Amino acid sequence: MQAPYNGRLESRGSHRIIVTKLKATKRKSTRRRSGKLRIGDDWNAITIIALSQSNPLKAVAEFVENSIDAGAGHITITRGRERGEHYLRIIDDGDGIPRDEAGVPNFKYVATHICDSIKRQLKVDGARGIQGEFGIGLLSFWTVGEELTMTTAGADGATYQMQMRKGDPSYFVTQRRTLFPERGTELKIKPLLAGIRHFSGEKIQWYLASELRDRIRQSGVQIKVVDRHARKEYTVEPRQFGGRLLHQLPEPTTAHGDIYLELYLTDPSPSNRVGLYRAGTRVLSSLTDLDPFRGEPWAGGYLEGIVEASFLNLTPGTRTGVIHDGAFDDFCRALAKVEESLTRIIDEQRRAEEERASHKILRTIQKAFKEALLALPAEEYDWFDIQKHGEGRALRSHPEAGGLPVTAAQPNGEQEDGSSPEDGQKQFFEYAGPLFSVRLSPQSSVVPIGKSRTYRAVARDRTRHLVEHALSFQWQITQGDGQLENPQSEIVTFTAPTQPGLIHLKVTAKQGEIVCEGEGMITVTDSLLPDMKEPSATQKGLPGYTFKRAPGELWRSRYDLDQNVIVINNGHRDFVYASKNKALQLRYICRLFAKELICKNFPGSSPEQLLERMIELSLYTEENLK
């Protein structure tokens, strides 16, 4: 057995912590003096390095990275308690500590070459997949616990261990008795500091999944976290981002190297961030921590993912700071080209969201107004087509009706489910019979040149019930030009040709031996009537709405009778205030609707009467807002 030995932690190598002290000299001399900076107190420098890591989870990530650098395929992190002391243990199956000429783990080199990492020389020799370079990662245990024990096997099969204590410059290397030597390294820290005993195995798992995302993916290492306190076991999986992966972005390149981008466009949220990575390890959780990237598109909450630049230089102590040198300046210049494309994509996303929100608000408001108009006296609120559309349901909503509910009739005498308007109890027992007819929906339509439109085959039985089972379809153009997409499906997309004309479309439906055909006509035009401002704006019934930005003007809304839309001033300060909350914005637009409808349908009334009507209509309308 090799005799135990001990020593003192030392700092060696070309990369040293510099402590400068300027001394005043009394002797006057015209000669220039020069020299080399040196460390005045080695132990004080080591203490500063050991306490420079402020995040204990980052220290755990440093230990895991050491295992990955050693070629480990499996790493187990255990959080537990023994003899009343909390501990953290990391076991891997890597190559362990480099051995000396005698085949013994060279713990002495590890302890006496702080700031002189052997991994730096390995990188110079061409080694790949190694992250460490400063030789200070092991000292991070000072921010985790009081004592570190590192155990690994030598070439002779014996097991050796090194012990270090926080605040003590000494280290001890001894031989440890084991029944069977195991490959790899075991690192154990105990007792844990009182302030960090609360971090759980789940926190370690989530942190490593983000911090070492690409290192885990590239190395294929399997990391397991065992939390004996919570009696749970976690597997560290590389973090997966949601949203849509953005392709065809400009490739950012610099003279120092390329920048890798993996960005996802998702729903806006303050939790969405783009992390900065270096060689597969996260440097910053959010790129907005750097001053040049505090604005759009990085701070808008629409993006998440990673930006990786292996050429960036980091601060050695924490490895969470970027040195603002020439490499960083080139990094910022390269990403400026990408920002233009990202801003354009985000603007398109915002416009689409606003359009969807507008359609949703419009449907909600129209439904609420219909219910309100049905509840109000018909002789007073019999406005254009609004009340007419609800006449079939008026008995259902009027307090004076007192009768049974009446279902609103659908066009062509059909209900929404495709059946004839019969008694509800009877519909429950009626089932579709064999195929009897098929028709196109719509049978006649107008399509601009080069545009597309979808058509549906509606199959029915003899009693006009919708037939849905055991059907096959075949679409074809019997006259004219054009293209059909998915001609064997129930719904087909027709793309109009580049020349105007009449197109005859035919669909054949089969159910067993029964064959039915239906035809329709499409008019392809080169010049259509002017489109309405909003697709939702109809010439009859409840109006739609559109926005017009007019900041500084007093008007809040106007009624466009030609297009039957309400024009809302989205630059008005009241609209801006209401937009802070979706529910408040909905009520604000609803009141603008009530104002315009009252003013239009009660001409000649006094202001007092108009206000009374508006309060009445708003009351019944807002009751139905959901």
Q: What is the CATH number of the domain that holds 214?
A: 3.30.565.10
The percent of the chain in helix, strand and coil, each rounded to the nearest 5, is: 30, 25, 45
Q: Is the Cβ–Cβ distance between 586 and 625 less than 8 Å?
A: yes
Q: Using CA atoms, how far apart are residues 331 and 310, in angstroms rounded to an integer?
A: 11
Pairing of strands 303-308, 281-284: unpaired
- Last residue within a domain, chosen from 185, 209, 234: 234
pLDDT of residue 214: 84
Q: Using CA atoms, how far apart are residues 109 and 121, in angstroms rounded to an integer?
A: 14
Q: Residue 209: beta bridge partners? A: none
Q: Using CA atoms, how far apart are residues 278 and 62, in angstroms rounded to an integer?
A: 14
Same domain, 65 and 200: yes
In a domain, 599, yes or no: yes
Same domain, 216 and 276: no
Same domain, 185 and 286: no
Same domain, 450 and 486: yes
Same domain, 336 and 260: yes
Which helix (H) or strand (E) segment is 607 a member of?
helix 607-622
Same domain, 172 and 221: yes
Q: What does residue 354 show for φ and ψ, rounded to 5 degrees?
A: -65, -40
Q: Work out how many domains the chain is built from and give that number.
A: 4
Same domain, 250 and 229: no
- Last residue within a domain, chosen from 536, 564, 586: 536
In a domain, 392, yes or no: no
Q: Which two tokens stand for residue 295?
A: 């604005």
Alpha helix (H) residue ranges in 456-529:
none
Same domain, 185 and 54: yes
Q: Which segments of the chain have a pLDDT < 70?
A: 1-32, 115-136, 197, 316-320, 378-430, 527-541, 626
Q: Using CA atoms, how far apart are residues 216 and 240, in angstroms rounded to an integer?
A: 12
Q: How large is the greatest C-alpha to C-alpha distance in the chain, in angstroms? A: 118
Q: Using CA atoms, how far apart are residues 90 and 70, in angstroms rounded to an integer?
A: 13
In a domain, 425, yes or no: no
Q: Using CA atoms, how far apart are residues 212 and 227, in angstroms rounded to an integer?
A: 20
Q: How far is CA 591 from CA 280, 365, 556, 617, 619, in A?
A: 54, 10, 11, 9, 10
pLDDT of residue 540: 54
Output the CA torsion sign for 610, 612, 616, 622. Answer: positive
Q: Is the Cβ–Cβ distance between 78 and 60 less than 8 Å?
A: no
Same domain, 549 and 528: no
Q: Using CA atoms, how far apart are residues 191 and 167, in angstroms rounded to an integer?
A: 14
Find all residues with CB under 8 Å of 604, minimum gap 6, and list them: none
In a domain, 578, yes or no: yes
pTM score, whole prediction = 0.52
CA 616 distance to own-chain centroid: 44
pLDDT of residue 248: 82
In a domain, 329, yes or no: yes
Same domain, 218 and 265: no
3-state secondary structure of 244: strand
pLDDT of residue 11: 56
Q: What does residue 48 show for φ and ψ, rounded to 5 degrees?
A: -65, -40
Output the CA torsion sign for 128, 131, 137, 141. Answer: negative
In a domain, 459, yes or no: yes
Q: Residue 145: beta bridge partners? A: 192
Euclidean distance between the first and final Cα of the chain, in Å? 80
In a domain, 408, yes or no: no
Same domain, 487 and 557: no
In a domain, 426, yes or no: no
Q: Using CA atoms, how far apart are residues 114 and 163, in angstroms rounded to an integer?
A: 16
- Segments forming the whole domain that contains residue 295: 244-348
Same domain, 72 and 142: yes
Long-range contacts of 216-220 (CB under 8 A, 24+ apart): 217/280, 218/129, 218/280, 219/68, 219/129, 220/73
Q: Which two tokens stand for residue 93?
A: 């199956």
- Last residue within a domain, chosen from 476, 511, 536: 536
122: left (phi over 0), alpha (psi -120 to 50) or beta: alpha
pLDDT of residue 320: 65
